[in-house]
Structure 1
Amino acid sequence: MSETIHPRRTTTSAALERHFATLAEQRRHHLPELVRLAPSLAWRRPADGQWSAGEWLEHIWRTIRVQRILTQMYVPVASKFAALFRNRPYETDVPDLFEAQPDSIPGPLLPFLKPKHGPSNPLPLHILADRLEAEASILRATLDIDERTAGHIVYWDGPFGRLNVLQSIQVIGFHEANDFKHISEVLRTVAR
């Protein structure tokens, strides 16, 4: 369900807080279990051509890292233009396409989102988890902007289309939830 927000006078973003809280809760639920996995289990692939749990976690980290880099470059410039529209309504939420149409979302096509580590060159999962949390903290600090402005800074996302900054963080949450489901499926398969 999409919520339309009409202009208000505030410098904090309730929508960003809500979306970042969702990300934090998902990670609190999944990361402690993942970092305790034995490396042999964490990096075991369920089948040829399928990623291990470690590779999925690295993909999550790479995705948030790319979002953080793009945000640090784009938001300062785009916010100047978006500020002109801050008194207009904007959306804060977007439907979860991963849940609604799971087969319509393509896998990671961009090479920089694919994991560099694997069963032959594993990285301790606690390092990936720490990197993920660090990137998320930097991204959150980068997005310390007025919600009315953030609602008008737009990105293009292939499956989701036009998203504003608020919605893009929600989509990261959808993406991570989907990837954590993949990790759970991989672990069930390799633990047999």
Structure 2
Amino acid sequence: MGNITDQYLAILEQQREEMFQTLEKVDENLIWQRPKPGKWSIGEQIDHLRAITKFMRRFIAVLWPLLFLMGWIRRNKSYDAEMDDVYERPGFPMNVGWLWPPKYKPENPVSVAVLKQALGEEHDNVKSFYRNKPEHILGNALVYDPAIGWLNMLQVLRVGIHHDAHHYKVIKGILESLEKPESEGS
């Protein structure tokens, strides 16, 4: 893939597929088991990703006419597509997931296949939005995030990748904690 947009979209898909490959070996009942009271299950973590991706995609799509105009006006300026992992920043607010709650919960579970399809569809919608948009426009179309600051549309995509990766790491931690009691008894 030649451009940054395609590279980022490939990362989004690759890390999702790797996470679901890990879940293929897991008992589906464990997907909805909460690791601690008040903490989301694996299924809730995944459905939260679907919910926030859907919200952000729709939000950006509504703003796109204005963002495109801004990007067009600024199109000859340089821009940075890379973005540090904001979820690794000390003091970064990590307690706002409740703004994008999962639809599926332990009391309303679905199969891993349903979760995979729903998140895959949202990622496909993100791809459809980003594909065929000129990078110099995306790189100069700016939005403001109160926790991060000004981001161009390529950086927005990068932050989304970091967000998914953060939750995939949480899911791996949940899996490890759920597997320990079984392996200790063996």
TM-score (normalised: structure 1): 0.85
Q: Could you tell me which of 116, 126, 129 is aligned with 1:129?
A: 116
Q: 1:36 Cα deviation (Å)?
A: 5.1
Is contact 1:71–1:139 with CA below 8 Å preserved after alignment? Answer: no
Gaps of 5+ in 2: 182-186
The 5 Å alignment of 1:47-66 reads: 47-66=36-55
Q: Are 1:32 and 2:18 matched, yes or no?
A: no
Name the counterpart of 2:143.
Answer: 155
Cα 1:109/1:184, change in 2 over 3 Å: closer
Distance (whole Å) between structure 2 residues aligned to residue 106 and residue 18 of structure 1: 27
What amino acid sits opposite 1:174 in the alignment? H
Q: 1:109 Cα deviation (Å)?
A: 4.7
**Deviation sequence 1:30-81 (CA, Å, 0-9, x none):** 1123255333100000110111100100111111111211122111332023
Name the counterpart of 2:129.
Answer: 142
Distance (whole Å) between structure 2 residues aligned to residue 173 and residue 122 of structure 1: 25
Q: Could you tell me which of 171, 175, 183 is aligned with 1:187?
A: 175
Cα 1:110/1:162, change in 2 over 3 Å: farther
Q: Secondary structure at the match of 2:63?
A: helix
Q: 1:83 Cα deviation (Å)?
A: 0.4
Q: 1:186 Cα deviation (Å)?
A: 1.1
**Deviation sequence 1:72-98 (CA, Å, 0-9, x none):** 211133202320110111111111122
What amino acid sits opposite 2:56 in the alignment? Q
The 5 Å alignment of 1:18-29 reads: 18-29=7-18
Q: Are 1:119 and 2:131 matched, yes or no?
A: no
Cα 1:98/1:81, change in 2 over 3 Å: closer
Q: Which has the higher contact order (CA 8 A, sep 6+)?
A: 1
Q: 1:108 Cα deviation (Å)?
A: 2.5
Distance (whole Å) between structure 2 residues aligned to residue 59 and residue 127 of structure 1: 14
CA RMSD of aligned residues (A): 1.9
Cα 1:163/1:86, change in 2 over 3 Å: same
Name the counterpart of 2:61.
Answer: 72
Cα 1:76/1:31, change in 2 over 3 Å: farther
Gaps of 5+ in 1: 1-11
